[in-house]
Structure 1
């Protein structure tokens, strides 16, 4: 009997050793917008957390390196010896960082394969794969594609043509495989691998409960990227993830950081009702289309919603139609004031220097903001996204030459010095408006809050430490970034978020 058990033990140990050797070590990297400084308002790397969860569930070992917040350096991962180094890359200055990091890892780990994914890589795969430091590009949703790539490389298989959604090199050839369909039922995915990051490094915890958008704005990346696709988590899964975050990380405030949280009104109502019925104590904010009904807004307020981001873009109805927003200014204004009436803070997104924008359109936007009493809004210069109809419109009219290499895209971002004026409005007028916005934002915001949400200052009195922290972040990030506009908005309007987040951001 003893010999039999001893032999069985040896067999098990052998199988475990073989199995462990077959694991792949994967390093997933979130490329930040700045290689030299940390991002005070870095967003949660939800995409990487889903990728990591799928890989871990299939027996692979994963580490996440978020250059936005991480104090580690590429050299610190040499001992981990990953066989695959994957980068999540967006359009803009993130590209310069991703290229530099890719080249660095190629030198440190010559045997490792470099993989790029996310929106920019998916929209310009031919340009990305031509970089000598990139071995593979994943187009579209990456969970299954990356898993199949890892397992093919693990087993030493060469038949990569079977992997949908993959672009790769074979000798001098660039091969593009069949597209991979997006995941419609996101419940098929595991919960994000939150244990792989230090949540205290992020100014807010966020969830992605949906992907894609059913609308077709001409300037939005969703058109060429998702092409009308919409995938969602069920209400049960969302509530389950919230419960896990509250239990494991003490979450009291949550951001639904996705393109349009309210697109499915039936799901929105069911979600809010569950929070109310189960008495789940949670403050949250989301992005929404500016056509919410009063009944939905009332339900959101009861369920703990305290802020909503609205993609308004312009105060000109002509430009709204040109952008194919399919909403009118009257409806936007009604939604704005209704949100305020229910103590939900509306945060507006406004763009200037839009293609075809005239001085009349520009003045309409200024008047629109004045009618709303200068609320909380992000005011930025329009930057065209690759593959969109508005990008093609600008190229066709000779406004700029389209980039032909990844590094040339580094300036195409609100966080980069994109200085091309695509409108008919004189550049000094736009620059003055943006400068005035940045310089007077704090005063206007305080004035608006005094008039429309005086209870905010009760929070200041009750939570002075968190308010001071918000001000410190404001001045700190103003010295770190070249675009203080977005940081000012985040610091001041984010105070309510911070004072509800003390459980995960202790001093």
Structure 2
């Protein structure tokens, strides 16, 4: 093996990791793309999913004893999301003990956001932080190792020089034509995924969202600054590339998901849906999830997606208050939400809704408006899947200008966010340690109470939800005749049963 890529646990202790309040098993497709690209260059690459191995019964000792049999030239650790902060650092430290002469690098969204802090505190066992898109950075770095080259010439890294000074070596080299990045194969990941985690994530695009939602790190104003990317536009893979990625994934899984900014380019979505229909891929798919902004896709596009095999769609509605949506720069209206739900149902797609609490200037009245919209969407046939407190971190407009929005920040530094790694599930779903802020009107406890209040409100309307879901079954079967009614109802009941216990 030449390159070992690590998807870390939330914390290194296996039993504690299994109790994390946030999902830890899914790998970011950035690492999967890096692995696929490096394999294409002739390198032997393995991506090891530690939390998934834990779920299968592996212990920390099992895994790291296995690593001792490896001889990697380079080790990369993924740090994409907040819940992996502490686990990623612990993995780096333990791997450096095993491989003292092997460079260990870290990358991903949160590694990029907190790059300077991470390097300042943990440079004894982390040799560099890879900033932003990293396929070409990895290639340059491994070539440098093999040829004893000059590290100063590698773009896209933050490192300490021989005088312990931090060196920022500029934005990474990126692909102008993203179709040059090969589709990934799941067999690069160890251990092999089995149900219920056998789902293939499809990355359809790269670059900033065209909108400017104030709580999103990928919006058009923060993407280049917070994520330090030289990609200024949203670049979309060709329909042919996406179809190829789907075909490759279907060799190993029957469940797929697209969770990126493709909805920003509706015409492209339609082209992709028609390309999928042409290949007849829907016959091989058991579950296909898609994410979109309310109002972004019309009925023609939704119908095309449904015919292509997509059977459920996630809408981040966030709030039932038009005023709050305006404050956080959500680019749609309440009528857009209603129209999107109706069009999805009519197109044979189950719409799932997502809601936030702890938004700037949010009041009791706004929470009541959210309840009203939840009920309206339920009666149309929507399934409310998630209610979660808003999370704020560096780079976001609401973080950087918190006072302007009546926000008092609680978590500011990298190590503050270790609480997302260490906080464990409890029966009451009460997690004050991971509330990142207070608002002008809501304290930490208020935000938690309002989150639980909305969850309870949804749970008390479970029968209403099921009734309207049953009313729409005929339309689902019209577009997806292979659907099993019992499995579909079981899936809906599972969402409702898990709602109380999910945090984010």
Which of the numbers 194, 204, 211 marks the counterpart of 1:200? 194
Between Structure 1 and Structure 2, how many residues are aligned?
454
Quick one: structure 1 residues 470 and 79, their matched pair in 2 at CA, closer, same or farther if it must change by over 3 Å?
Answer: farther
Q: CA deviation at 1:412?
A: 6.0
Instruction: Give the one of 355, 361, 381 matched to 2:389.
Output: 381
CA distance in 2, matches of 1:45, 1:222: 15
> Which residues of 2 match residues 57-76 of structure 1 at below 5 A?
57-70=40-53, 71=58, 73-76=63-66
Partner residue, 1:162:
153
Which of residues 225, 228, 247 in structure 1 aligns to 2:223?
225
> Cα–Cα, structure 1 residues 376 and 470, in superposed 2: closer, same or farther, change >3 Å?
closer
CA positional deviation for 1:26: 1.5
Give the distance between the partners of 1:338 and 1:461, measured in 2 at CA. 20
Q: TM-score, normalised by structure 2?
A: 0.81
Q: Which residues of 2 match residues 4-403 of structure 1 at below 5 A?
A: 25-35=2-12, 36-38=16-18, 42-70=25-53, 71=58, 73-130=63-120, 131=122, 132-157=124-149, 159-171=150-162, 172-197=164-189, 198-200=192-194, 202-212=197-207, 213-223=209-219, 224-226=222-224, 228-246=232-250, 248-249=251-252, 251-258=253-260, 260-281=261-282, 282=285, 283-291=287-295, 292-373=297-378, 375-394=383-402, 399-400=408-409, 403=412
Bigger-Rg structure (1/2): 1
- The TM-score, its normalising length taken from structure 1, stands at 0.80
**Pair 48,242 (structure 1): closer, same or farther in 2 beyond 3 Å:** same
Query: Residue 443 and residue 300 in structure 1: after superposition, are their counterparts in 2 closer, same or farther (change >3 A)?
Result: farther
Hey, what's the Cα distance between the residues in 1 that align with 2:5 and 2:444? 41
The CA deviation string for residues 442-484 of structure 1, in whole angstroms up to 9 with x for no partner, is 5634531321344659999957689879989998x89xxxx81
In the superposition, relative to structure 1, how do residues 183 and 366 fare at CA in structure 2: closer, same or farther (>3 Å)? farther
Q: What is the CA RMSD across the aligned residues, in angstroms?
A: 3.2
Segment drifting more, 447-456 vs 291-300? 447-456
Deviation larger for 219-228 or 329-338: 219-228
Where does structure 2 lack aligned partners over 5 or more consecutive residues? Answer: 226-231, 425-430
Give 1:139 shift: 0.5
Deviations 1:301-337 (CA, angstroms, capped at 9, x unpaired): 2222211111211111111111111211111121112
Conserved in 2, the CA contact under 8 Å of 1:44 and 1:204?
no
| Matches of 1:75 and 1:225, distance apart in 2 | 39
Question: Which 5+ residue runs of structure 1 have no aligned equivalent?
Answer: 1-23, 488-507
Which string of whole-angstrom CA distances, capped at 9 and with x for unpartnered residues, describes residues 269-301 of structure 1?
111112223322234221111112122222222
Question: Would the alpha carbon gap of residues 54 and 199 (structure 1) be closer, same or farther in structure 2, given more than 3 Å must change?
Answer: same
| 1:147 shift after superposition | 1.2
